[in-house]
Homo-oligomer: A and B are copies of this chain.
Amino acid sequence: MKRKLTLKQIARELDVSISTVSKALRDSHEISEDTRQKIKAFAKLYNYKPNNIALSLKNRKSKTIGVIIPEIVHHFFTTVISGIEQVANEQGYHVIICMSNNSFDKEVINMELLANGSIDGFIISVAKETQQKKDYHHLTEVINQGMPLVMFDRVIEEINCDKVIIDDVIGAKKAVQRLIDLGCKNIAIISTVDYISVGKLRTQGYIQALNENNIAIDENLILKVEDFEKSEEEIKVFLADKDIDGLFAVNEHFAIYAIKAFTERGLKIPEDVSVIGFTNGELSKLSNPGLTTVSQHGAEMGAQAASLLIKKLESTQDHDDAFQTIIIETGLVERNSTKC
């Protein structure tokens, strides 16, 4: 198998020194026009490309950002990645992605893999399991090594670093307020167990909205889904006997399962029940009826996260440890699952 062309080979071939080749290719004025042209022509002909690994080793940086996401299924993460790539590429950085699949172990392994030289900094949304376990040693370790880290979406408060989040509370509140404005009297919520930060916060928003409108909280109308895998069944059972006219779900899946459950009971959306989900993804767009959702502006989040990270990477001040938390505004995309 042919090895890649190196400076050394070019040097030998053209009977000059390695330094000369390197300099010629970087257009150094130290090298005569003649030699420069000759070397450049040769390099181009044989398609010379510098070895990134060697460069990384030499420069002690890779100009690469590592992104760790828990699951790729959510369209939301795709938009975040797009945002990250946009900004990163503009600034001459590359992006590589690893999936943790919501597994703590995988998150740790992937971070260790990348942290040992491959990348200059992390952008991460932590795995469910990590939030649950509350074991953050891999995160603190990376930070202690002096590698910048930016968290987005699923962040961990205890960790001191830059963060980009949406205001889950306000986002949820907006959604529930909309349901109230539409005249809904009995509004239920389908959320997640509390160790998932976003679930917890969105539930808070739900409660605040009700409180501010002097509507009593009915614990029976709050479902905290335990197991994502079995959520469809859980939701069906939960909704089976509920007499509600409004529903707020903390993600797309739950909202769609709910619509399914309602439809099967013969209820009409939005005539009988208005439903609002969270995360404006593919599913919401394609669902039937189209799902009204809180939109998270993923691209914006990704862009901000990348900006923060790169700023840290390029700052020469070693102890610029003023960490920021950027809050991205949410929107409300109205479709046909809410009456107008």
Of A23-31, A113-121, A203-211, A235-243, the one touching chain B: A113-121
Is A216 on the interface with B (CB-CB < 8 A)? Answer: no
Is A1 on the interface with B (CB-CB < 8 A)? Answer: yes
Of A92-100, A173-181, A322-330, the one touching chain B: A92-100
Is A287 on the interface with B (CB-CB < 8 A)? Answer: yes
Is A62 on the interface with B (CB-CB < 8 A)? Answer: yes
**Cβ–Cβ < 8 Å partners of A116 in chain B:** 4, 49-53
**Cβ–Cβ < 8 Å partners of A49 in chain B:** 112, 115-116
Contact with B along A85-129 (1 / 0, CB 8 A): 100000000111111010000000010110111100000000000
One of B73, B113, B256 near A94 (C-beta < 8 A): B113
Q: Identify which of residues 280-309 in chain A touch chain B, using a CB-to-CB cut-off of 8 Å.
A: 282-283, 286-288
Q: How large is the interface on A (under 10, 10 to 19, 20 to 34, 35 or more residues)?
A: 35 or more
Q: A52 touching B318 by the CB < 8 A rule?
A: no
Q: Identify which of residues 138-172 in chain A touch chain B, using a CB-to-CB cut-off of 8 Å.
A: 141, 144-146
Q: How far is the CA of A82 from the CA of B102 in the complex (A)?
A: 12
State how many angstroms separate the Cβ of A186 from the closest Cβ of chain B: 23
Q: B288 touching A263 by the CB < 8 A rule?
A: yes
With A2-B146, A53-B53, A54-B117 given, is the CB distance from A73 to B71 under 8 Å? Answer: no
Most buried by B among A47, A115, A286: A286
Q: How far is the CA of A340 from the CA of B60 in the complex (A)?
A: 63
Is A253 on the interface with B (CB-CB < 8 A)? Answer: yes
Q: B2 touching A145 by the CB < 8 A rule?
A: yes
State how many angstroms separate the Cβ of A275 from the closest Cβ of chain B: 12
With A4-B145, A253-B286 given, is the CB distance from A81 to B72 under 8 Å? Answer: yes
Most buried by B among A52, A95, A257: A52
Q: B47 touching A141 by the CB < 8 A rule?
A: yes
Which single residue of chain B is at the shortest CB-CB distance from A137? B47
Additional A-B contact list (18), CB under 8 Å, known A85-B99, A95-B98, A118-B118: A3-B60, A3-B146, A50-B116, A53-B57, A53-B117, A57-B57, A72-B72, A72-B77, A73-B75, A94-B110, A94-B113, A96-B97, A96-B98, A253-B286, A256-B286, A259-B288, A260-B286, A288-B288
Can you identify 18 A-B contacts, CB atoms within 8 angstroms? A2-B146, A4-B145, A51-B116, A52-B116, A52-B118, A53-B56, A54-B57, A57-B57, A64-B113, A72-B72, A72-B81, A82-B101, A85-B101, A94-B110, A97-B99, A259-B288, A283-B283, A286-B287
Closest 9 pairs (CB-CB, A-B): A1-B146, A53-B117, A52-B116, A97-B97, A96-B96, A2-B146, A52-B117, A51-B117, A53-B56
